[in-house]
Structure 1
């Protein structure tokens, strides 16, 4: 059976094979794909057909196009509850990316200016991505990022700035620092550092 037939979805057995492979990937915790990883899942798809195939599957609802070059299996049980955050590692895969700025500060109520975008810092290039789950905004940083000091790892594997780092980042980019609630910020920093200290003392 040719790849063209597979792309058009005419052959039922091919669709069952696709669903089986997606299900196995889901069981292994794989819920998003780049063209190369999807090709590997399918046993190798010729480049001429790969782009057309993924577009067709997105049109049919089998996959969801997150951004250019990243597709999500919308039926995957392993898909995280916060897909937008989880997409960070796919957008700048060889860089350090972490949630910071308005997104971090507003969660603690330390800033009244809440961004509709997920605001992140990255050691890679800046950029803005529109996804079905909302906007992701990257701002470049040249600073050395210390994992566990400047940023903390969440349970889902994504990185997030500490309150102090988020404040430093906001001041560096020079925006919205005039709407910070100093009292709430101080309390949030104290609470966060106290919690981190307690966790570090656990055996």
Structure 2
């Protein structure tokens, strides 16, 4: 395939909101590439800068306008595609000020196996959970990724037993009370 045609197909995919690819989705975009050639093709395109390798088997179109503001969060569904994943633990608690330190990795819970992925946009760390996840009560959708509610993130952090000394209990109590109040207001509107 000529480079011009490839760029055109990537632009069409971008217009449809597709900014990241797995090998099967990229093969479909290209009209069905032979599997033995597909890996070589994706590696070459990555070496040329047409695609960026985010993790094993996951590539991003660097020119895509449809990519999310936080690509690392957007990658969650590609890194663990058949599992429920949500931002939690230190990342969630740091964002809202319950933990004063900024995390280096995006910390997430997953129903899949634990793993760490070092992407060009930063590390993503998955911690396994066996808990039943109630979407809406425990986690909410935010910008294409699930995020733990405050009480869920604290429960997760306590469950894994790390960095508990970093929690500001006063801010935690205020934040949970505020979150509970917002939940009550939403249920009254419904």
TM-score, structure 2 normalization:
0.96
Q: What's 1:30 paired with?
A: 18
Q: What's 2:88 paired with?
A: 100
Aligned Cα root-mean-square deviation (Å): 1.1
- How far, CA to CA, are the matches of 2:93 and 2:156 in structure 1? 11
Q: What's 2:182 paired with?
A: 195
Count, aligned residues = 190
**Alignment partner of 1:44: what SS?**
coil
1:46 paired with 2:34, answer: yes
Report 1:30-179 matches (<5 A). 30-154=18-142, 156-179=143-166
For structure 1, the 5+ residue unaligned runs are 1-5, 7-13
- How far, CA to CA, are the matches of 1:197 and 1:61 in structure 2? 49
Q: Following superposition, which runs of at least 4 residues in structure 1 exceed 3 angstroms of deviation?
A: 199-203
TM-score, structure 1 normalization:
0.90
Bigger radius of gyration, 1 or 2? 1
- How far, CA to CA, are the matches of 2:71 and 2:188 in structure 1? 32
For structure 2, the 5+ residue unaligned runs are none
**Alignment partner of 2:123: what SS?**
strand
Deviation at 1:15, TM superposition (A): 1.2
